Structures are given as C-alpha cells and as structure tokens.
Amino acid sequence: MKVFWQNAHMAKKSTKTDRPTCLVCGASGRLRRGLCQTDYERYRRAKERLPEDRRGAYEEECVARGILLPSRQGCRGVEDDVFAQTLAEFQEEKRGGK
C-alpha cells in the first residue's frame, strides 16, 4: 500500500517536473498546443491553406491524431489565441486608424 502510494507519488512528481515535449518531434522547450515552434508553424501553415470553414475540422483531425492539443485543455496554452487577438486588434487599428 505504502509502496504503491510512493510509486504513484513519484510518477506524479516526475510528470510534473518533466518539461512538456513536442507531440511530433519530442523536442522540449516552448510549446504551443503541444507543438514546438517548428511543428506549430507547420501546422499553422497547413491550416492556412484551407478555406476558413474547414479549418476547424482540420484542427479536430489533428487533435484526434494526437499531434495537436485541444485548445480548451487547461490553461497551459494561454498564449494560444495571441494571433487571433492580434489580428482582431490589427484589423480594428486598420479600420479605425487615421
């Protein structure tokens, strides 16, 4: 019982201490949606090739294949929507600008 608890505790601790790694290439470092910068960029570029109404489905497909984390998963990817936010601000600025 005690040993089991210890193992569970250790496992928990090790996953917490381990840096998250890229779902595709296993690189550690700054991740977005579970991907390193390179792979996230690849994903993003691939997604951009699709018409907007199909991007959601493509994203879901990537999540289903385990190569992308769902956006709602936890607060780890708080920066996820920084592009959407920037875009919104950018468009607003452009529209409302001088």
- Where on the chain is the footprint of Zn ion (CB under 5 A)? 22, 24-25, 27, 36, 39
Which amino acid is residue 52, in one-letter code? E
Is 68 in contact with 80 (CB distance < 8 Å)? no
**Smallest gap from residue 38 Cβ to Zn ion (A):** 5
Which amino acid is residue 51, in one-letter code? P
Nearer to Zn ion, 28 or 86 (CB): 28
- Residues 6 or more apart in contact with residue 93 via CB below 8 angstroms: none
Is residue 84 exposed (0-12), middle (13-18) or buried (19+ Cβ within 10 Å)?
exposed
**Smallest gap from residue 34 Cβ to Zn ion (A):** 9
Nearer to Zn ion, 24 or 63 (CB): 24
Nearer to Zn ion, 6 or 73 (CB): 73
**Smallest gap from residue 13 Cβ to Zn ion (A):** 25
Nearer to Zn ion, 26 or 51 (CB): 26
The partner residues of 32 in beta bridges, in order of sequence, read: 35
Tokens 């690189």, residue located = 27
**Smallest gap from residue 85 Cβ to Zn ion (A):** 24
